[in-house]
Amino acid sequence: MSTEFPALPYAANALEPHVSARTLEHHHGKHHKGYVDKLSNAIAGTAHEGQSLEAIITAANAASDTGIFNNAAQSWNHTFLWSSMSPTGGGEPSGPLADAIVDRFGSVQRFRDDFKAAALAQFGSGWTWLVRTDAGLDIVSTGNADTPLVHGVTPLLTLDVWEHAYYLDYQNKRDAYVDVFLSNLINWDFAAENYAAD
């Protein structure tokens, strides 16, 4: 991914009534943009300037450069998040991804239950992910800016469980926010593309 601030892949009001335009304007336009701006300032004139986000994240993680890592990873995570949701999301997965979900979790409903449990168990700020590992699919949570990119697994989709992602719409009801994501917003097509990619 590029280090430039990306536009949303849909209009700010496209996820209503599940996620309000006000939330997306704050989440995308202020939080995400803030990470991109801080990263751009931090890498100006350095060896990272002109590199992809993935390369910056890998190098900063290896060097324990938390300032650059946090802003690069949060920029990447948020861009990935916007595609993990869709105005026409929800429903059921299909094809090889659906087969892999049933193989790993027993059913799509069990996947939803396990994903929700992981999202609710994440203490404080972080992310819940569906990932592909060498052994198959898994659900993992990462704290703060941490990302599967540095853990040797392939992210398929994610949900941001930082409070800024849902507080304006759901206050402290993270469970309701997770339910809406799994029922109405989850972008199975995006996850399937990531699952099929090498």
Select the CATH number that applies to the domain covering 95-196 from these four: 1.10.10.10, 3.40.1170.60, 3.20.20.150, 3.55.40.20: 3.55.40.20
Q: Is the pLDDT of residue 2 over 90?
A: no
* pLDDT of res. 145: 95
Contact between residue 84 and residue 158 where contact means Cβ atoms under 8 Å apart:
yes
76-128 tens-digit pLDDT: 999 999 999 999 999 999 999 999 999 999 999 999 999 999 999 999 999 99
* pLDDT of res. 8: 97
32-75 tens-digit pLDDT: 999 999 999 999 999 999 999 999 999 999 999 999 999 999 99
The reply to whether CATH 3.30.360.10 applies to domain 21-84 is: no
pTM for this structure?
A: 0.95
Q: Where in the chain is the domain with CATH 1.10.287.990?
A: 21-84
Contact between residue 59 and residue 46 where contact means Cβ atoms under 8 Å apart:
no
Residue 110 CB partners (closer than 8 Å, separation 6+):
none
Contact between residue 71 and residue 48 where contact means Cβ atoms under 8 Å apart:
no
* pLDDT of res. 101: 98
Euclidean distance between CA atoms 10 and 45, whole angstroms: 33
C-beta neighbour count of 140 within 10 angstroms: 17
pLDDT band at 1 (very low <50, low <70, confident <90, very high): confident
* pLDDT of res. 198: 61
C-beta neighbour count of 37 within 10 angstroms: 13
Q: Where in the chain is the domain with CATH 3.55.40.20?
A: 95-196
Residue 141 CB partners (closer than 8 Å, separation 6+):
118, 119, 121, 122, 126, 127, 128, 129, 161
145-179 tens-digit pLDDT: 999 999 999 999 999 999 999 999 999 999 999 99
> If DSSP codes are grouped into helix, strand and coil, which group holds residue 8?
coil
Q: In what order do the strands lie in the sheet containing 154-160?
A: 136-143, 126-133, 154-160
